[in-house]
Amino acid sequence: MNGLYHLGELPTAAVEALAARALALRAGAQPQRFDGRALGLLFFSPSLRTQASFQRAAGLLGLDLVQLQAGAGGVWGIETEEGAVMDGANAEHVREAAAVLGRFVDVLAVRAFPKGQNRAEDERDPMLAGFRRFAGVPVINMESSRWHPCQALADWSTLDMLGVHKRAKFVLTWAWHPKALPQAVPNSTLTMAAQRGMEVVVHRPRGFELAQDVMEEARALAARSGGSVVESDDRGCLDGAQVIYAKSWGSLAHYGDAAAEAGARGPFRSWCVDSTWMARARPDARFMHCLPVRRNVVVADEVIDSQASVVIDQAENRLHAQTALLEAVLSGAGRPESPASTAGREKSPGRPIRDPSSAMEMKR
Amino acid sequence: MNGLYHLGELPTAAVEALAARALALRAGAQPQRFDGRALGLLFFSPSLRTQASFQRAAGLLGLDLVQLQAGAGGVWGIETEEGAVMDGANAEHVREAAAVLGRFVDVLAVRAFPKGQNRAEDERDPMLAGFRRFAGVPVINMESSRWHPCQALADWSTLDMLGVHKRAKFVLTWAWHPKALPQAVPNSTLTMAAQRGMEVVVHRPRGFELAQDVMEEARALAARSGGSVVESDDRGCLDGAQVIYAKSWGSLAHYGDAAAEAGARGPFRSWCVDSTWMARARPDARFMHCLPVRRNVVVADEVIDSQASVVIDQAENRLHAQTALLEAVLSGAGRPESPASTAGREKSPGRPIRDPSSAMEMKR
Amino acid sequence: MNGLYHLGELPTAAVEALAARALALRAGAQPQRFDGRALGLLFFSPSLRTQASFQRAAGLLGLDLVQLQAGAGGVWGIETEEGAVMDGANAEHVREAAAVLGRFVDVLAVRAFPKGQNRAEDERDPMLAGFRRFAGVPVINMESSRWHPCQALADWSTLDMLGVHKRAKFVLTWAWHPKALPQAVPNSTLTMAAQRGMEVVVHRPRGFELAQDVMEEARALAARSGGSVVESDDRGCLDGAQVIYAKSWGSLAHYGDAAAEAGARGPFRSWCVDSTWMARARPDARFMHCLPVRRNVVVADEVIDSQASVVIDQAENRLHAQTALLEAVLSGAGRPESPASTAGREKSPGRPIRDPSSAMEMKR
C-alpha cells in the first residue's frame, strides 16, 4: 500500500487485515525485517506516543531511522503555497523538502497540526498534501489538520481486542478543554466507528458539530457497513453505550477566533466524563481516549482509573498498528523506486541477507 | 535490578560489581547484546554527556532507542500532582505518560531537574516518583531534583580506576557560580564517597549546607563502611586531600528566592579551585568535577588543564557505568513482563539469534 | 583520512576518489559496515538535508548514532574562547565538550553557523576549530562560518554524474534574499569549481565580493588545475555558462550591521535567477543550488521546476558523498585510538557474533 492519509480511504477488508496483524504482533508474532531500508519521521507538532511508537516500530522492523523536528533549532519553516514569493518566514518549499527526504528514506511519516487561523486552508491539509504529492515515496499521516489514521487503526484493533461487537453502540463525546483543539481525532474516530458498522452517536453541544463533509462521509461509510450515525446534545444519548470515547474539539463556527471560541465553550465546562456519565452506559462499557488527556477536565480520575478505561491499551496498540502498517507499506507491490531505496537495498547477488525479499523467504 | 533512583539504595557489593563491570567494559570487554529490546530516554532538562552516553550505550547493547525531549516542539508539559484539575499548562498526567512509554520500551531513563520554586515539592522528586510508580518497567534516574546516581556510579568506578584508597580523604568543595544550581550532584557525590568508606569533608560557606537528611544519610553510610563525614568552611580542611571534587550548588536557606540567593552567594565569588587550593592537597591529589564546568569561575584553567584533573575520564566512565547498569537491569531476574517487551522479543524457537539468552550462549 | 574541514585542503585525487565512490554508492554499491562504531552529530544550527542524510548514512554503515541539538532544551551554550572567565551564558567549554564526545564516538560531525556579529571572530571558525583541536577523533564539518565541505563534495560528484566537462564554464551567482546569509556555501562552491579546473565566474553586485583570502585560494587552486576565476557584476558574464549555481550571501562590507547590510542589498531585489538568466547560458546548461532555496526570490519557479534544475540530485548526493566520506574516515589508517572506540569495537577473538562478516556467514 502506498502510505496512509485517512483510514476511511482503505477498503474495510484492508483495515481488518491490518488490525488483525497488529493484534498478532501484540500477541508476540515476529515483525518482518527490512534491514537496509529507512523510515523518516518529520514532526511539525509536538508528540509523545507518536514519536515513541514510531521510533520503536522502526527498531522492531530493522529500519534505519531518520528523525527531524521542525522549529527551535531543528528544521526551519516549510512553505506549502504554490507559486509563493518566499520572502517571509519560510526558508524552504515543500516541493524541495519532500523530494529531498524522499531520496533518503523508503517511507516518510509526517505530523502537521492545523494552524487554526483559516479553516478552508487547514482543511486542504497543505503540508500533508505537499508531502504526499512530492515525496516520491509512501507518506504516512501522523496526524494532520483533518485525520489521524494511525490512531483510528489502533482504536479499531483495540475494539477487536476487547471483543466489542461490530454493531455495538459507540458514543463519541465532546468534552470541555481550556483550548480549542483540532478535529483530526474526532474526525478519524467517527469515520472509523462508522466504517466498522457501529451504532455511532456524536454527543456534543450545539455549535460543536463536526464538519459537514466528515459527517456525510461517516454516514456513507455506515450505510455501506450496516451501521448508523446520529448526533445529539442530549446526555440521554449515552444510555446503553458499549463504548464512550471522549475527545474535545473546538467550534468550527468560530474557527480562528480564539476569544469567540472560548466564549462558545464557556457554558459547557461541566462536559467532563465522570461516573454519572458512565452510569448511563452498559455495565461492561469501555472508556476510550486517544491521549494526552486532561484529568478532571475531560475525564474524571474515577473514570480513567477505573476498570472501564482502556486508554493505555489503546496507546500500546499504536505501536502494533503502526508496525503492521509499515510492514504493509514496505512489503507492498507497486512501490515506486527511488534512488534512496536503491542505495539502501542490496543488489549484489553475493549478499542476500539485506535484500528484503530474500530475507523474507528465509523467514518463511 | 529494578532500575536505579539513588545509588545509596544499592548494597555496596552491588555498586562494587557495577563499577568493576564498568571498568571491564572500558578495558574492552564485550557488552552483552539485547537485540529486540528497547531503551527509552526522556529529557525534561538539557544534557550533553547524559544524552550522548545513553545513546551510545543503547548502540553497544543492541537496544532499540526511543528518545523524547520535553519542550520546544517536542513533548508537552507533564502533570505530576495526584487529583489535579488539569486546566493549566500541562497536557498529560505522568500516570498516562509513564504507563504508555512503559508499553513501548523495556527500560526507561528520565531526567528532570528541580523547578527551583518550592523546596518541599522538589525534594519529593515528583517526576521521577511518578515515572517509577507508573511506568511498569525499570526506571533509571538520569538526574532528578535529589540524585544523579549514574554520575555517582561513574565516579565510583573512576576512583577505583585511579586506585584511590577506600579510606582516602575526599573533599567535596562548593564553588561560586552565577546561578543557584541544584543539589543532585553534591548529594550523590557525598553519599557515594561516604558509602565507599572515605574520609569525607564537605567544604562550603556557612549558609550553603546540604540538606539535613542527606547529611544524615551520608553519615549513616559512612558509619556502616568505616568512613566519616564532616563539614567545614575553613580552607584548611583541604589539607592532605587525595581528591578535591568541586561542585557549585544553591543555598537551601533561600530556595526559590533568586535575589536573596544571589546575595548569599555574593561574598564567596573567590571560591574557585585554583592552584593555591590544590597546593594544600597531597602531591598526587586528583581534581574531579561532573561537568559541565565553568572555567575560571568554578575551577581555574591551571587546575582543570593540569595532570591532576580527571574530568574527561570521569565523563567517559559515564558511558561504561551506564552500559553496566543497563546490562544489570535488562538481564535481571524478576523483571515485570510488559506487552511491549513481549512484542520486542523473539519467541519462535527457530530464530534463536535475537533471543538475548540464546545469543549469549552462542557467544560463550 | 582525519576528518574534513574544507574540501580544498584535500588533494584533488582524494576528492575525485570520494566523488567516484559516492556515485558508485548511488548506483547501488554496498556500503562498508562499521558495526560497533559510532558517529556523533552535534548541531548548533538548523538543518534538514544534513541531519537526514547523516542519520541515514549512519544506518547504511551500521554505525551507532549519537545526536545532539544545541539550544531549546537540548545542549547548553558552548564557550570557545581560551582563558574565558565563564560567568556568562555558556555553561561548558569546547575543551570539555569536544574531549568528552570524542570518548563516546569514533567520528564527530559538527554544524555551527557564524554568529554574524564579528567577522574576524567568525572567520576563525571557533567552534569547529575547538572541536577539531580537542575531540581526539576525526571531526567532519557539517557547515561552519567558513566552509561546507560536504556540500562541495556532493556538488563535485553531481557535476561528475552529469558529465559536466572539467573545463566548462561555471557561474556562481549571487541572488537577493531577505536576510544576510553566511558565506560558507559560496566559499565552498567557488573553491570546489576552481579545484576542478573549471572556468569560474563569480557574478555578484559590487559590494558583495567574497572574502579576499577565499578568492585568492580559489585562484591558486584554479592555477594548479588549469582553470580560472573571475568576478563580474555584468549579467553578460552568464553568457555560455554550462552551470549556473545560485546562492545568496551577505555583504562583508557591512558584517554585523543588519540595517546597513539590508540597505546594501536593497537595490538588487531583482537578482533572481529566472528564464531570462538561463537563456544566456548554453541550451544544455544546469541550474544548481544547495537548498534550502526561497522560490521566486532566489530562483523563479520556471527555472527550479525546469529540466535544467538538478537541485534534488544535488541533495541526494549529500547522502552518497557523506557515506563515502565516513567510509574513508573510518577505514583510514592512522586513526587515533580512543577509549570509546576501544570499547565499541570487537577485540576478543572468541566472540564472532558481532563481527559483520561472521554474522552474515552464520545467517546464510
* DSSP per-residue codes, A194-243: HHHT-EEEEE--TT-PPPHHHHHHHHHHHHHHT-EEEEE--GGGGTT-SE
Q: How many Cα atoms occupy the beta-carbon half-sphere of A10 within 13 Å?
A: 25
pLDDT values of chain B reduced to their tens digit, one per residue, 364 residues: 899 999 999 999 999 999 999 999 999 999 999 999 999 999 999 999 999 999 999 999 999 999 999 987 788 899 999 999 999 999 999 999 999 999 999 999 999 999 999 999 999 999 999 999 999 999 999 999 999 999 999 999 999 999 999 999 999 999 999 999 999 999 999 999 999 999 999 999 999 999 999 999 999 999 999 999 999 999 999 999 999 999 999 999 999 999 999 999 999 999 999 999 999 999 999 999 999 999 999 999 999 999 999 999 999 999 999 999 999 999 974 334 444 433 333 333 222 223 333 332 323 2
Domain A7-147+318-346 grouped into CATH 3.40.640.10: no
What secondary structure letter does DSSP report for B295?
Answer: B
Q: Where in chain B is the domain with CATH 3.40.50.1370?
A: 7-147+318-357, 163-309
- CB pair distance less than 8 Å for C86 and B320: no
Residues of A in contact with C294 (CB under 8 A): 86-87, 91
Place C178 in a pLDDT band, splitting at 50, 70 and 90: very high
In angstroms, how far is CA A3 from the centroid of its own chain?
13
Q: Would you say residue C155 has pLDDT above 90?
A: yes
ipTM at complex level: 0.91
Distance, in angstroms, between C350 CA and closest chain B CA?
Answer: 7
Q: Domain B7-147+318-357 is classified in which CATH homologous superfamily?
A: Aspartate/ornithine carbamoyltransferase (3.40.50.1370)
Q: How many C-beta neighbours within 10 Å does residue B7 have?
A: 24
Of 2.40.50.140, 3.30.70.140, 3.40.50.10380, 3.40.50.1370, the CATH number of A163-309 is 3.40.50.1370
Q: Where in chain A is the domain with CATH 3.40.50.1370?
A: 7-147+318-346, 163-309
Percent of chain C residues past pLDDT 90, beyond the cut: 88
Distance, in angstroms, between C251 CA and closest chain A CA?
Answer: 18
The CATH architecture assigned to C7-147+319-346 reads: 3-Layer(aba) Sandwich (3.40)
pLDDT for B150 equals 98
Residues of B in contact with C76 (CB under 8 A): 46, 48, 292
Q: Where in chain C is the domain with CATH 3.40.50.1370?
A: 7-147+319-346, 163-309
CB pairs under 8 A between B and C: 133
pLDDT for A48 equals 95
pLDDT for B1 equals 86
Distance, in angstroms, between B85 CA and closest chain A CA?
Answer: 5
pLDDT for C167 equals 97
Closest-CA residue of chain B to A298: B86
- The DSSP-derived string for B177-198 is -SS---SHHHHHHHHHHHHHT-
**With the CA atoms of A73, A76, A77 and A81 taken in that order, what torsion angle do they form, in degrees rounded to the nearest 10?**
-170
Peptide bond into C138 cis (omega under 30): no
- CB pair distance less than 8 Å for B92 and A25: no
Residues of C in contact with B363 (CB under 8 A): 350-351, 353
| pLDDT tens per residue across span C194-219 | 999 999 999 999 999 999 999 999 99
Task: Give the angle B245-B251-B256 at the CA atoms, nearest 5°.
Answer: 130
Q: Which amino acid is at C228?
A: S
Closest to A343 (Cβ–Cβ): which among C52, C320, C364? C320
Closest-CA residue of chain A to C75: A73
- CB pair distance less than 8 Å for A85 and C178: no
pLDDT for C24 equals 98
pLDDT for B244 equals 98
Distance, in angstroms, between A24 CA and closest chain B CA?
Answer: 9
Residues of C in contact with B353 (CB under 8 A): 362-363
Average pLDDT per consecutive 10 residues, chain A (364 residues; last block may be shorter): 96 98 98 97 95 98 96 85 93 97 98 96 97 98 98 98 98 97 98 98 98 98 98 98 98 96 96 98 98 97 98 98 98 50 34 30 29
pLDDT for C75 equals 85
How far apart, in whole angstroms, are the C-alpha atoms of residue B356 and residue C15? 43
- CB pair distance less than 8 Å for A69 and B73: yes
When scoring A85, A100, A107 by the number of chain C Cβ atoms within 10 A, the one with the most, hence best to mutate, is A100
pLDDT for B204 equals 98
Closest-CA residue of chain C to A82: C301
- CB pair distance less than 8 Å for C292 and A74: no
Closest to A76 (Cβ–Cβ): which among C25, C29, C46? C46
Closest-CA residue of chain A to C363: A353
Closest to C353 (Cβ–Cβ): which among B301, B305, B363? B363
